[in-house]
Amino acid sequence: MIWNVYLSGEIHTDWRQRIIDGAEQQGLSIVFHSANTDHDASDAAGDVLRENESGFWRDHQSSKVNAIRTSTLIKQCDIGVVRFGDKYRQWNAAFDAGMLAALGKPFITLHDDSLIHPLKEVDGAAMAWAETPEQVVELLKYVTSK
């Protein structure tokens, strides 16, 4: 069995790559998926369509194009990993976690212990809270191994 793992959240550190590399080194049977992690490209996802004077509608147009990808990948994943960093609002990560929870998909959160209290509702719905990408790899190894 090949497991589909969706990596959601913060795009400013190398956590995705460390998980992907770790899984590869361990030879895990996992395919990883993500939203487009290029911030500028993501903001411009809808710009191929009509131009908008309003910032709200430009964002709206792009976020819906991005959602074609993300909602599909979330619905098809087996496991989610949701990362919260110490900067920015990251409401999209919490939004993805809410989708995962409502769809009955197990997910792992990844964040420092300084974020325990503000993330308590998200952690309450998660199957595990990890503090490092290496812990996530260990969990994925345990969960997906024969």
Q: Where in 43-62 is the site for a second copy (CB under 8 A)?
A: 45-46, 48-50, 52-57, 59-62
Rule CB under 8 A: is residue 79 a binding residue for a second copy?
yes
Sole binder of a second copy in the list 21, 24, 39, 127 (CB under 8 A):
127
Q: Which is nearer to a second copy, 25 or 89 (CB)?
A: 89
- The reply on whether position 91 binds a second copy by CB under 8 A is yes
CA nearest to 88, candidates 9, 6, 7:
9
* DSSP letter, residue 2: P
Task: Give the whole-angstrom CA distance, residue 5 versus residue 12.
Answer: 20
CA–CA distance, 101 with 107 (Å, rounded to integer): 8
Residue 128's DSSP bridge partners are 108
With CB under 8 A as the contact rule, the residue among 31, 37, 39, 112 that binds a second copy is 31
Is residue 87 within the footprint of a second copy (CB under 8 A)?
Answer: no
